[in-house]
């Protein structure tokens, strides 16, 4: 199969919508990362997503809609869900709600709940309106690779596997949407994103965060979200993340860098001068800038062929929880807190 990559425009949007109606798979931009979409109610179309991604069949997909009316008949929209939709849709918030039998089992990997989201990106909105279908879409990477934040990343992973990629430029947020489970008594964040648990609590009254967000699952522990148990966001290199002041982190990173064969450094802008002529890349200066840049940097590291990535992180809380959850997973939870060594 040849994979076309077309800039977002009236004609390419029409073509993508037509492919969706035919049950085909198309990659498209959202404000978080690129999605690999197909008709969520067509089991064969959804199967083609799993095949193109090489995604394990037990990992459910998110159903994307242009407006909440499209959810009618698909899931039970609770009062809390309504409030959160009022506050955060369109936007990077995915909600787990109880599904109806109209949603095929393959879309939710057999689970009784369905993940729903309304993306805040003009091209995604236009496409969802044009095809008038609920679209199942995981991130458009091959399983185990960093999520794609540009059409070029999608092409790297999906060339020859899908007919069309819509190119809408770089994704603004850069990490995937917040996933919040609304099927229990209190909303619970299973995957942190740009909308924080604090943001959700301010609207819903309360919100917890799954304890496994910043640690590996224990042997035999139930994964509240199947995505948690699969290896994720994995660069080829071994990676370690350091948290502390610029100076304390740089001291530790430089010692390890100088002892290694082929390492690269990811650091905050404010710390870049501390690394001299060593191979160092920017993660910006705020957790939001870090989120925007992280997946691109991980792909660049893979292309360079480095064997060790030494990265400066942030305290894993508030706005920084989203980027730190991804950094921790990319590093197989190899986190080092150097603040105690501060002088």
CB of residue 154 vs ligand TXA: minimum separation in angstroms? Answer: 11
Stretch of 31-39, 207-215, 296-304, 320-328 lying at the interface with ligand TXA (CB under 6 A): 31-39
Comparison of 145 and 268: residue with beta carbon closer to ligand TXA: 145
Stretch of 30-38, 152-160, 213-221, 328-336 lying at the interface with ligand TXA (CB under 6 A): 30-38
Q: Can you tell me the distance from the alpha carbon of 127 to that of 13, in angstroms, rounded to the nearest whole number? A: 6
3-class DSSP state of 211: helix
Annotate 214-265 with three-state secondary structure. HCCCCCCCCCCCHHHHCCCCCCCCEEEEEECCHHHHHHHHHHHHHHCCCEEE
- Phi-psi bin for 170: left (phi > 0), alpha (psi -120 to 50), beta? beta
Q: Can you tell me the distance from the alpha carbon of 232 to that of 291, in angstroms, rounded to the nearest whole number? A: 15
296 binds Mg ion (CB under 5 A): no
Between the two ends of the chain, the Cα-to-Cα distance in Å is: 59
- Using CB under 5 A as the binding rule, the residues of this chain from 135 to 194 that contact Mg ion are 139
Location of structure tokens 């942190």: 192
Q: For the CA atoms of 178, 181, 182, 188, what is the dihedral angle to 10 degrees?
A: -90
Q: Which of 13, 17, 62, 271 binds ligand TXA (CB under 6 A)?
A: 62
Ramachandran angles phi, psi of 162, nearest 5°: -135, 155
Q: Which of 42, 59, 149, 196 binds ligand TXA (CB under 6 A)?
A: 59
133 binds ligand TXA (CB under 6 A): no
CB of residue 56 vs Mg ion: minimum separation in angstroms? Answer: 12
Stretch of 90-98, 157-165, 209-217, 327-335 lying at the interface with ligand TXA (CB under 6 A): 90-98
318 CB neighbour count, 10 Å cutoff: 14
139 binds ligand TXA (CB under 6 A): yes
Q: Which of 46, 111, 308, 328 binds ligand TXA (CB under 6 A)?
A: 111
Q: Which of 35, 104, 146, 290 binds ligand TXA (CB under 6 A)?
A: 35
107 binds ligand TXA (CB under 6 A): no
Stretch of 90-98, 131-139, 197-205, 320-328 lying at the interface with Mg ion (CB under 5 A): 131-139
Question: What's the chain's length in residues?
Answer: 343
Of 214, 209, 216, 248, nearest to 230 by C-alpha is: 216
CB of residue 98 vs ligand TXA: minimum separation in angstroms? Answer: 10
- Using CB under 6 A as the binding rule, the residues of this chain from 239 to 298 that contact ligand TXA are none
65 binds ligand TXA (CB under 6 A): no
Comparison of 138 and 284: residue with beta carbon closer to ligand TXA: 138
DSSP 77-94: --HHHHHHHHHH-SSSEE
CB of residue 265 vs ligand TXA: minimum separation in angstroms? Answer: 28
Ramachandran angles phi, psi of 18, nearest 5°: -65, -40
**Per-position x/- string for 167-206, each x denoting binding to ligand TXA as judged by CB under 6 A, each - no binding:** ---------xx-x-----------x---------------
∠ Cα 44 98 45 (to 5°): 10
Q: Can you tell me the distance from the alpha carbon of 330 to that of 332, in angstroms, rounded to the nearest whole number? A: 6
CB of residue 17 vs ligand TXA: minimum separation in angstroms? Answer: 17
| Residues at the site binding Mg ion, with contacts judged by CB under 5 A | 139
Residues that bind ligand TXA (CB under 6 A): 30, 32-33, 35, 59-62, 92, 94, 96, 108, 111, 113-115, 117, 119, 137-139, 176-177, 179, 191, 225-227
């Amino acid at each position: 199969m040849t994979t076309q990559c077309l800039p977002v425009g009236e004609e390419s949007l029409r073509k993508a919508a037509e492919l969706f109606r035919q049950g085909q798979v198309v990659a498209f931009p959202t404000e978080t990362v690129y999605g690999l979409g197909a008709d969520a109610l067509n089991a064969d179309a959804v199967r083609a997503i799993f095949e193109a991604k090489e995604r394990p069949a037990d990992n459910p997909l998110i159903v994307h809609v242009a407006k909440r009316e499209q959810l009618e008949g698909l899931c039970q929209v609770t009062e809390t869900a309504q409030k959160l939709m009022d506050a955060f849709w369109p936007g990077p918030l995915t909600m787990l709600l109880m599904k109806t039998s109209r949603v095929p089992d393959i879309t939710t990997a057999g689970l009784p709940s369905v993940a729903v989201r309304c993306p805040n990106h003009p091209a995604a909105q236009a496409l969802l309106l044009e095809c008038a279908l609920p679209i199942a879409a995981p991130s458009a990477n091959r399983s185990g690779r960093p999520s794609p934040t540009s059409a070029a990343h999608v092409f790297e992973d999906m060339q020859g596997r899908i007919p069309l990629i819509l190119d809408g430029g770089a994704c603004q947020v850069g990490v995937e949407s917040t996933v919040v489970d609304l099927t229990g008594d209190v909303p619970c964040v299973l995957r942190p994103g740009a909308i924080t648990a604090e943001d959700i609590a301010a609207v819903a009254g309360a919100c917890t965060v799954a304890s496994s967000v910043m640690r590996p699952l224990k042997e035999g522990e139930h994964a509240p979200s199947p995505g948690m148990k699969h290896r994720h966001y994995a660069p080829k290199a071994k990676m370690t993340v350091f948290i502390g002041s610029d100076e304390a982190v740089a001291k530790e990173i430089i010692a390890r860098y100088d002892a290694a064969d082929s390492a690269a450094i990811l650091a905050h802008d404010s710390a870049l001068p501390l690394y001299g002529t060593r191979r160092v890349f920017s993660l910006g200066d705020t957790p939001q800038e870090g989120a925007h840049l992280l997946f691109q940097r991980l792909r660049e590291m893979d292309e360079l062929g480095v064997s060790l990535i030494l990265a400066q992180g942030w305290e894993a809380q508030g706005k920084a929880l989203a980027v730190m959850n991804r950094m921790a997973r990319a590093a197989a939870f190899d986190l080092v807190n150097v603040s105690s060594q501060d002088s």
